């Protein structure tokens, strides 16, 4: 058994969580990884990690909605990275109660366990969606919170709980607010894997929602490095603070689709599907990050440009073993 320090990651089986697990192991940590309990004993994307990485990972099936499960999971960890969440915006219109259960109550359970066990550091995950459509650009951490979907509201609720635990109990919590992360292993509920996956499967007529919104796309390896940066920085630099992680550059959904066509050397015919369009007052039209606070506190900055990240993502989806994990012919919400 390795004597490396133990860190705990909720949501480790997911897109960002699995990449963070790899990053933490590479940085010398042993990872206790929570995957949501299921009767299939599925560990999600953790099952695809290299054997030498998995040697340093203890996978635990659990559920952040259960206080006892969370308490047992975080006990003895040096740092807890809380990524577990329901994240699909369209499904939050259909099942908002489940988003509150996971994103608010689940976060409360993590905070309470960290407080009771006096865990030295908690990194809580927020989202740029809590800002809503940009009122000023680039968006700093002082931008007003304007939640335009049940998903965004549930994440903002978790953020406020994290703030309150630091203020009320001195809980050593830092909030990281990544902008639109993309890369290998992302679900097809997001625009970039939707386009790449359909093209990789042989489609050339691509159906999307609104092509006008702009986003600040951050490659997943850079997002994982941002988590590591705030999780290992001196407490006085990061505890009790919220940090954006983004590139500071924005591109419309339509333009990123055309860029994917260029990277994949494919002629794409893009058509709008009304099923994929958000309600008008719920669509966030513009997101672009100011990450200077994170850079000043930790030295972090993104390393992968958009085209480089897209090329890595294309390589992933062109692998038949990876593509077979996806249902490219349906609308994933």
Query: What are the extents of the domains in the chain?
Result: 6-183+219-247+288-303
Unique residue bearing structure tokens 């703030």: 163
pLDDT at 277: 62
Beta-carbon contacts of residue 253 (< 8 Å; ≥ 6 apart):
191, 208, 209, 210, 211, 212, 213, 214, 215
Query: Helix 67-74 crosses helix 106-117 at what angle (to 10 degrees)?
Result: 40
* 170 backbone φψ class: left, alpha, beta (φ>0; ψ -120 to 50): left
Beta-carbon contacts of residue 218 (< 8 Å; ≥ 6 apart):
178, 179, 180, 181, 182, 245, 246, 247, 289, 302
pLDDT at 1: 47
pLDDT at 330: 75
What CATH code would you report for 6-183+219-247+288-303?
Answer: 3.40.50.720
CA distance 195 to 188: 8
Grouped pLDDT means (10 residues each) for the chain, 333 residues: 86 98 98 97 97 98 98 98 96 96 98 98 98 96 97 98 98 98 94 92 86 95 98 98 98 93 92 69 88 98 98 97 89 68
């Amino acid at each position: 058994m390795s004597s490396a320090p133990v860190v705990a990651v909720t949501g480790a089986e997911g897109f960002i969580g699995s990449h963070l697990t790899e990053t933490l192991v590479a940085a010398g940590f042993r990872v206790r990884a929570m995957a949501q309990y299921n009767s299939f004993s599925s560990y999600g994307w953790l099952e695809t990690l290299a054997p030498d990485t998995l040697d340093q990972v203890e996978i635990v099936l659990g559920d952040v909605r259960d206080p006892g499960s969370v308490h047992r999971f975080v006990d003895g960890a040096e740092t807890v990275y809380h990524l577990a969440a329901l994240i699909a915006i369209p499904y939050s219109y259909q099942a908002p109660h489940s988003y509150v259960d996971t994103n608010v109550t689940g976060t409360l359970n993590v905070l309470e366990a960290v407080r009771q066990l006096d865990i030295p550091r908690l990194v809580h995950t927020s989202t740029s969606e809590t800002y809503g459509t940009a009122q000023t650009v680039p968006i700093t951490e002082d931008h007003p919170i304007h939640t335009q979907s049940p998903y965004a509201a549930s994440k903002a609720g978790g953020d406020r709980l994290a703030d309150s635990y630091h203020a009320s109990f001195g809980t050593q919590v830092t909030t990281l607010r990544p902008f639109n992360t993309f890369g290998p292993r992302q679900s097809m509920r997001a625009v970039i894997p939707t386009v790449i996956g359909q093209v990789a499967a042989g489609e050339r007529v691509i159906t999307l929602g609104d092509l006008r919104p702009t986003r600040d796309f951050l490659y997943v390896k850079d997002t994982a490095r941002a988590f590591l940066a705030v999780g290992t920085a001196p407490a006085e630099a990061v505890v009790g603070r919220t940090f954006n992680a983004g590139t500071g550059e924005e591109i419309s959904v339509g333009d990123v689709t055309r860029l994917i066509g260029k990277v994949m050397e494919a002629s794409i015919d893009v058509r709008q599907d009304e099923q994929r369009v958000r309600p008008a007052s719920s669509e966030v039209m513009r997101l672009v990050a100011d990450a200077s606070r994170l850079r000043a506190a930790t030295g972090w900055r993104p390393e992968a440009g958009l085209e480089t990240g897209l090329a890595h993502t294309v390589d992933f989806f062109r692998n038949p073993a990876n593509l077979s994990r996806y249902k490219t012919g349906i609308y994933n919400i």
